[in-house]
Amino acid sequence: MPEKLIDLKNITKRYDENVVLDDFSLYIRENEFVTLLGPSGCGKTTTLRIIGGFEKPDSGTVLFQNKDITDLPPNKRELNTVFQKYALFPHMTIADNIAFGLRIHKKSDAYIRDKISYALKLVNLEGYENRMPESLSGGQQQRIAIARAIVNEPKVLLLDEPLGALDLKLRQDMQYELIRLKNELGITFVYVTHDQEEALTMSDTIVVMNQGYIQQIGTPTDIYNEPQNAFVADFIGDSNIVSGIMIRDKLVEILGARFDCVDTGFGENRPVDVVIRPEDIDLVDPKDGTIEGVVTDVIFKGVHYEMCVMSNGFEWIVHSTDCFPVDTHVGIHVDPFDIQIMHKPESEDEKAVAVDE
């Protein structure tokens, strides 16, 4: 296990009376691609800015390689940031932008020249040295912003929603580009986004945040398949979240029907939240299903159909490659291991979290 590179301990940050981070702790290991994921206002950007040194926490410490850097200004930190709106210096050429950090650190001209061409090659923008930032497209500017950061060979690259301003196709291309870069450079990426797909595609570890609290930390697979609460489930992908009662281990009652599941340890006759992903629902002949329903809506989505199925007053979202026309009576069947049981939120905070989305 690689050691902790960055360690945030008990960070609290307020803006006026607004608590953005509350006793927040998180560590990041070397060579990890960590994504902070959450809706706007969840504190993810603040976390990043505290790591970068642009904000000072009201309390708590930031350790970098076990050294306290809480009070260190940004220019003394061995990490670099790629800003949301690129933040290129508009009065400098691309080459001067990239060379900025190197010149500050008084590198030789030859070294700087090599670095510029290396970095431009890395981001596939060779020959752009003498252009001005404004003449570049958004995607190109973003790549220059990355190049400008990585030529300084930081131990960590902080990326603040770097793809937020790009269109869909470009965003997808850049995702692969970033993964490639990460692998070539072999450094730590801390990535902030509100786009769950982006997070799932690129990360080694995802930190789901809401209202200044960490909701879940895990690999993309963990987060997707086994959300620990309704917020995570809802925020990551489409989900059917329905109230149920845990009759006993491995048996849950939803909408009056009993489903087999694999979860244990919830006690008997306890109210729970049940999460079922739309693609995990099989529509079958009414008599073969655990519960019956009527198709109320069908939309063709390309790779699959999205259907709404009404049963006992609950509207299921179902993804399937088979099409069932509207008004068809169907049965619903879910494999036991596709049923995810979660505790009902208990604290006020958790409730707020659930209501928020």
Partner 1 sequence: MNKKSRLLTGPYLIWSIGFIIIPLFIVLFEAFTGDNGLFTLKYVTDITWFVNLKSLGLSLVFSFISTALCLLLAYPLAMILAEFGKGRSSITVLVFILPMWMNSLLRTIAWQNILERNGVINGMLTALHLPALYIINKPPAIVLGMVYDFLPFMVLPIYNAVSRIDRDVINAARDLGANGVQTLFRVIWPMSLPGVISGITMVFVPSLTTFVISDILGGGKILLIGNIIEQMFTQDSDWHAGSGLSVVLMIFIVISMIIEEKYDSDQTTVTKRERRTN
Instruction: Give the nearest distance from C-beta 63 to partner 1 in angstroms.
Output: 19
Binding to partner 1 by residue 132, rule CB under 8 A? Answer: no
- Tell which one of 6, 34, 51, 88 touches partner 1 (CB under 8 A): 88
Q: With respect to partner 1, which residue has the nearer C-beta, 76 or 287? A: 76
Instruction: Give the nearest distance from C-beta 347 to partner 1 in angstroms.
Output: 32
Q: With respect to partner 1, which residue has the nearer C-beta, 35 or 97? A: 97
Binding to partner 1 by residue 74, rule CB under 8 A? Answer: yes
136 alpha-carbon distance from chain centroid:
28
Binding to partner 1 by residue 188, rule CB under 8 A? Answer: no
Applying the rule CB under 8 A, the residues between 253 and 292 that interact with partner 1 are none
Q: With respect to partner 1, which residue has the nearer C-beta, 65 or 219? A: 65
Q: How many residues sit close enough to partner 1 to count as binding (CB under 8 A)?
A: 25
The dihedrals phi and psi of 215, each to the nearest 5 degrees, come to: -95, -40
Binding to partner 1 by residue 162, rule CB under 8 A? Answer: no
Q: Which of 2, 14, 44 is nearest to 26 (CA)?
A: 44
Give the CA dihedral 57, 42, 214, 340, nearest 10 degrees: 180
Q: With respect to partner 1, which residue has the nearer C-beta, 112 or 353? A: 112
- Tell which one of 84, 205, 210, 211 touches partner 1 (CB under 8 A): 84
Instruction: Give the nearest distance from C-beta 53 to partner 1 in angstroms.
Output: 8
Amino acid identity of 54? F
Binding to partner 1 by residue 81, rule CB under 8 A? Answer: yes
Applying the rule CB under 8 A, the residues between 133 and 152 that interact with partner 1 are 148-149, 152
Please state, in angstroms and as integers, the Cα–Cα distance from residue 187 to each residue in 33, 93, 117, 141, 249, following that order: 9, 27, 20, 22, 44
d(CA 191, CA 203): 8
- Tell which one of 9, 22, 29, 83 touches partner 1 (CB under 8 A): 83
Of 70-78, 164-172, 283-291, 322-330, the segment contacting partner 1 by CB under 8 A is: 70-78
d(CA 149, CA 119): 10
Applying the rule CB under 8 A, the residues between 8 and 67 that interact with partner 1 are 52-54
Instruction: Give the nearest distance from C-beta 315 to partner 1 in angstroms.
Output: 43
- What is the pattern of x (binds partner 1, CB under 8 A) and - over residues 90-129? xxx-------xx--xx------------------------
Instruction: Give the nearest distance from C-beta 46 to partner 1 in angstroms.
Output: 14
Q: With respect to partner 1, which residue has the nearer C-beta, 73 or 267? A: 73
Binding site for partner 1 (CB under 8 A): 52-54, 73-75, 77, 80-81, 83-85, 87-92, 100-101, 104-105, 148-149, 152
